[in-house]
């Protein structure tokens, strides 16, 4: 941090003349000059541009100037007329926070009526949406002037992307909670200055729907071994029963799914007028299977169908939303990513397929201080109490001016 305190101190050496006190702190036009006009004025509400008396501001540096009757010229040694704090143009400071009794930069003058000028020429930023870049906490601030000029900038952080219910709001830039009702803090943004709040983050895309499950099956094959007892001819019901009672039938084949697809005869007679054959196109229809007995010994080739369900394809994931424009993402709001496509489930026996849908695209983040189209809100450029933004434009202030 590069903060410079540039106070001009008067009467640092040599004799102190009454005329020089008058010239330093000003006189009251049209009235005689009196010593009582140059006591220290401890009132909280003082306009030093008016004909105020007494004329000496209340400041830590001016504590030796009496505010009562025990007035002495020697008390004016090293006094000031205003207190100046300047942030260097090359400086970049993270999350500056001041209380009214701050001593490191303000020498406990924030609550005193001396004019205080904060000239921001560098960058003050926050990289967390929960924190303001520049914050003046609750207190009585009097005669405080904040000037953002000459390329100075106060940046809030952009909101993150995520799901509904998460905090995706952009972060604020400047926070001032002035509890002194009689005097407002003055904020001026020059033509080259910026007070930018963070944009809201975009929602992640929704996941697609998964594919529906499908009815499917697999097949098993087995032989009955040699069986006998057939007459000269047989029909499908006899052959089917042999398959069903076979010790070789797999246990996971249900009886209702068993069908005979082939029957071969052993020890066929030399002069046989016929043999086993299959009639028709559908091997799963037992009525299509007939035969003629040329041998008492048979081998049954049996096929069974095992019904099952095949899961549909998985849904595609939604795309990530974009982050809001902010200190960590200054060029553009983040664009939402495209959703992923779903995959497919398939029944090998039939070739049927069921596919999951693609996920939705993520939503883009909001620009500086703006809400996402679907997601978080933009942050406050200035969130304040008893403070006025006296000069700004749409180019120098982005985000809302909101009241505490």
The residues that bridge with 398 in the sheet, in sequence order, are 196
Give the mean model confidence (pLDDT) for residues 86-101.
Answer: 96
**Element at 17 (helix H, strand E):** none
What's the helix, strand, coil split of the chain in %, to 5? Answer: 10, 30, 60
Predicted confidence (pLDDT) per residue in 345-359, tens digit: 999 989 999 999 999
Q: What is the pLDDT of residue 264?
A: 60
Q: How confident is the model at residue 28 (pLDDT cuts 50, 70, 90)?
A: confident
Closest CA to 185 of 401, 390, 395: 390
The pLDDT value recorded for residue 283 is: 46
Query: Coil, strand or helix: which one is 236?
Result: helix
More confident residue, 162 or 289: 162
Contact by Cβ (8 Å): 174, 195: yes
β-partners of residue 185 are: 387
- What integer is the mean pLDDT of 151-175? 97
Q: For residue 60, is pLDDT > 90? A: yes
Burial class of 45 by CB neighbour count within 10 A (0 to 12, 13 to 18, 19+):
exposed
CB 157 within 8 A of CB 327: yes
Residue 239: pLDDT band by 50, 70, 90 thresholds?
low
Q: pTM of the entire structure?
A: 0.79
The 10 Å CB-count burial string (b at 16+, else e) for 68-85 is eeebebebbeebbbbbbb
Residues in a beta bridge with 40? 56
Distances (CA, A) of 259 to 236, 237, 240, 262, 283: 9, 10, 6, 9, 8
Calpha distance 148→10 (Å, rounded): 28
Q: Does 91 have pLDDT greater than 70? A: yes
Instruction: Inform me whether the pLDDT recorded for 399 exceeds 80.
Output: yes
Domain limits, the chain? 3-203+377-403, 214-310
Residue 22: other Cβ atoms inside 10 A: 15
Q: Which two tokens stand for residue 244?
A: 């069903």
Q: Is 378 exposed, middle or buried (0-12, 13-18, 19+ CB in 10 A)?
A: buried
Sign (positive/negative) of CA torsion 15, 21, 23, 24?
Answer: positive
69-83, 248-262, 370-384 — which is least confidently predicted?
Answer: 248-262
């Amino acid at each position: 941090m590069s903060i410079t305190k540039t106070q001009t101190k008067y009467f640092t050496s040599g004799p102190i003349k009454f005329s020089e006190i008058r010239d330093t702190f000003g006189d009251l036009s049209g009235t005689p000059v009196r010593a009582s006009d140059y006591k220290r004025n401890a009132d909280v509400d003082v306009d030093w541009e008016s004909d105020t008396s007494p004329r000496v501001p209340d400041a830590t540096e001016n504590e030796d100037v009496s505010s009562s009757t025990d007035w002495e010229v020697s008390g004016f040694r090293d006094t000031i007329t205003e207190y100046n704090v300047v942030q260097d143009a090359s400086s970049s400071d993270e999350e500056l926070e001041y209380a009214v009794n701050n001593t490191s930069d303000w020498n406990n003058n924030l609550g005193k009526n001396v004019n205080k000028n904060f000239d921001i020429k560098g960058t003050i930023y926050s990289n967390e949406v929960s924190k303001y870049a520049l914050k003046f906490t609750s207190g009585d601030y009097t005669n405080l002037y904040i000037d953002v000029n000459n390329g100075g900038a106060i940046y809030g952080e952009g909101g993150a992307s995520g799901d509904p219910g998460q905090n995706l709001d952009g972060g604020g830039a400047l926070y001032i909670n002035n509890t002194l009702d009689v005097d407002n803090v003055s904020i001026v943004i020059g033509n080259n200055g910026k007070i930018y709040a963070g944009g809201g983050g975009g929602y992640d895309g929704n996941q697609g729907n998964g594919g529906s499950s499908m009815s499917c099956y697999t097949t098993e094959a087995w032989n009955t071994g040699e069986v006998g007892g057939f007459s000269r001819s047989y029909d499908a019901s006899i052959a089917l029963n042999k398959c069903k009672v076979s010790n070789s039938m797999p246990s996971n084949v249900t009886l209702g799914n068993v069908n005979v697809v082939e029957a071969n005869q052993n020890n066929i007679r030399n002069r046989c007028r016929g043999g086993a054959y299959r009639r028709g196109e559908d091997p799963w229809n037992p009525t299509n299977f007939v035969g003629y007995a040329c041998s008492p010994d048979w081998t049954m080739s049996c096929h069974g169908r095992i019904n099952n369900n095949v899961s549909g394809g998985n849904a595609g994931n939604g795309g990530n939303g974009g982050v809001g424009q902010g200190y960590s993402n200054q060029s553009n709001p983040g664009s939402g990513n495209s959703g992923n496509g779903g995959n497919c489930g398939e029944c090998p026996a039939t070739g049927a397929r069921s596919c999951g849908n693609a996920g939705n695209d993520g939503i883009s983040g909001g620009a500086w201080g703006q809400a996402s189209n679907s997601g978080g809100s933009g942050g406050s450029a200035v969130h304040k109490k008893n403070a006025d933004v006296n000069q700004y434009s749409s180019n120098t202030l982005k985000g809302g001016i909101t009241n505490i």
